[in-house]
Every structure is written in C-alpha cells, then in structure tokens.
Amino acid sequence: MVTAEPRIFIIDDSADYRALLSHHVTTRWPDAVVRGYDPVFSGRLPDSFSGAGNDLILLGHPAGGEDALDWLRQFRQVPGFPPVVLIGNGEERQIVAAMKAGAAEYLSKARLNHARLIELLEQVLGGDEELADLAQAGLPSLKGHAIREQLSGSDVSSVYLTTEESTGRAAVLKVLRQMPDSGNEVAFERFLQEYELIAKLKHPSIVEIYDLGIADDHAYIAMEYCSQGSLKRRIAAGMNPDLAFYYMRQIADALGELHRIGITHRDLKPTNVMFRDDGTLVLIDFGLAKQAQLRAEITGTGEIFGTPYYMSPEQGHADQVDQRGDIYSLGVIFFEMLTGEKPFDAETPMAMIIRHRHAPVPRLPPELARYQPAIDRMLAKNPDERFQSVEELLEWIPDNDSGASAARA
C-alpha cells in the first residue's frame, strides 16, 4: 500500500512539465512531498547525490540538455538509491536502454496521461511494502537455488530471482504458495503435466523451463530470467504500428505451438509477455491462474478472479474456453499495442465482463484502419466468428518485415 505522503523528486528541463507532473501527483496524493529540480539552471547533480529522503525519482529526458540515460546510470551506481522512472521520447531503443540501465519503469512523454502515470507510480511506490509483507510468509526449502531477491507475489504464487547453484545462471523461480486443498488434486496434477509438456518445447518465443517439482509442500517452476521487463511497459511507453503488428505475430506464433500440443494459455495479458536481454519476446505463465483456481467465475460479492481486461466473453461467463479464447485475448492486446488504450473499460470487474459480451468492437483511428478487419475477427463475441486457429490468423494476415527491423533497432 502506498503511503499518503510519498516523497517524489522531479527532474526535467521544463518548468511547466515539472509543474504538470507535480499536479498529477498531488491530485492523487494531496499530502505528497514533491520537489522539482531544474537541470538547465542548476546543472548536473553530483555523484554524491544519494536520493536520500525521496521515495521515487521522476527523471525526464533530456536532462540539462544531456541524455537522461547517463543520469540514470549514475544514480543506479549509488547503493540504496530510490527507484527511478524515466520519462522519455518513447523510442524502442531508449526503452530497452532504460530498462538495462536500471529504470524501475518507463513512460513516454507523448503518451503520458493522469491514469497511466498514477497506475505506474502506485506500482513502483507500493512494491517494497508488498514484497516485505510477502516475505513474512516464509520461503520453502528449495535445494539447488540461491534466492537473490523477490520479484513479485500474489495470493497464488511468489516469484523470486535466483541463481542456480549447479550452473551459476540466473533463473526465475515461481513458487505456488499452497498445495491444492482436498478435491483439487486433479486440476493441480493437470497443471504439473502441462508444464512438463511445455518444458519439452524449444520455441524462441516460449520461456524455457529449467525444472519443476514439489518441495516442502510447495510446487515450483524454475525458468529462464527475462531481464527486460514486460510488454506492459512497452505499451505504456508507446510503439509504432509496425512493431505492434510484429509483436502480435510473435505472440500468435508462440500460442500456435502451445495449441499444437493441446494447451490453452487461458491468462494471456501484457504482463505475461516478457523480453530477454537481447530484446526477443517470450510468452510465460501458461494457464497458471486457472490451475491455481483463479477461474473466471463470479463470487457472492460480485468480484471475479483473473484479469477481466483481457478475458474472452465466454471465459468471463465461465463457459467452455478453447484456443479461440486465446485469440480473443491476443486481439485485446493487439488493440492496446496499436492505440495505447484497452478496447473496453469499466469501473467494476462485473461491468467489464458485460462489456466484453455486449459492447461493440471499437473502431481504430483512420490511420490504423488497415488493422480493423483483423481486430473485428479477433474480438468477435461469438467464438465461431473469430479465427478458428492461430494458423488461420497467420495465413490471413501477411508478415511485415518493417516490424522486425524496428524490434532489432
């Protein structure tokens, strides 16, 4: 939970932009302590600047007419320096460089709005406290893995960055927080069987599984570490249509491999699409939510489990879900990559489910109209009116080499 009085230090060449960011922050947290720094007038901060007394740094590019990445690298060399959010030009090369240099998050100035900024700040500011709470739950005894830090956690699982003691390589360890209760063993067994199948796959866009098993009544999965963050960050930073199209095809190709061996992802969303150090895209978390009993069902309190922004209409209504549900979720992600906005929004999960079922498929702006036919098919309410397979989708939509060039840039 974020404190009501976050302390935020804003660095940007423009006084107006510093004031705008401060306004966004204090609108959300009226008692926030916000300080601004003018790098044009005051010059570069010294190497001795530790960021002490601040919960977060907002660093605008350029900074004092210089590349803000140089400032970021200087800050991250200081032990205990607070997290830094870089606000830049939105170019893919800068996004990747910022993540490599240690930015906690990245935002594009051109795509920044109040909701996006506050959502991101809440995630960054709330991270340390959430991890501290999760750490109190204790860790299972996992031989062969030296835990370096906790990356995230939820009611279902905790995720750790580890070092494999036998190889010295970095690995991500996802630990299910509890074994299934009595009566749920069948679903849990299927979860393990599916990951055993996935571990045998060798596909460039599917995460490599190193190991899985049970330890101290915890199930765990060890997989490759993808250091460059998730697709959610890149959507927030903004991307050109060619790159969005290229990523969509990569995700579709990975889904096709899963579908080929009889596995439906079931939980496709931007945070389950990660990037390796070389910038290649990787699909993770295949059906973990469902097998850990986060099924899309309405509870007595009107809440749902799962991620309703990306759920197909049939999944939101607890109907049978097959590979066409994954295609629908991919359509939602594709629309979001193209526009920076989700196709459907609502104030409550239940309202979101209803919109997925009944709201018309939104229209893309005129400059993106060439993608509308694909969006219409992918987001069709009736599964029979969608692409019936990933192969049909990829055959219907030709490849686009310019997106691959943008990804390599």
Which helix or strand (DSSP H or E) is residue 149 part of?
Answer: strand 145-153
Cα–chain-centroid distance for residue 164?
25
Q: What is the DSSP letter of 298?
A: B
How many whole angstroms separate alpha carbon 10 and alpha carbon 349?
Answer: 34
- Find, among 211, 217, 223, 243, the residue nearest to 371 by Cα: 243
The DSSP string of 183-239 is T-HHHHHHHHHHHHHHHT---TTBPPEEEEEEETTEEEEEEE--TT-BHHHHHHH--
CA atoms within 13 A on the CB side of 175: 28
Q: Which of 47, 128, 133, 277 is catalytic?
A: 277
**Catalytic (active site) residue 277:** yes
* Cβ contact 140:220 at 8 Å: yes
Active-site residues, by number, are 277
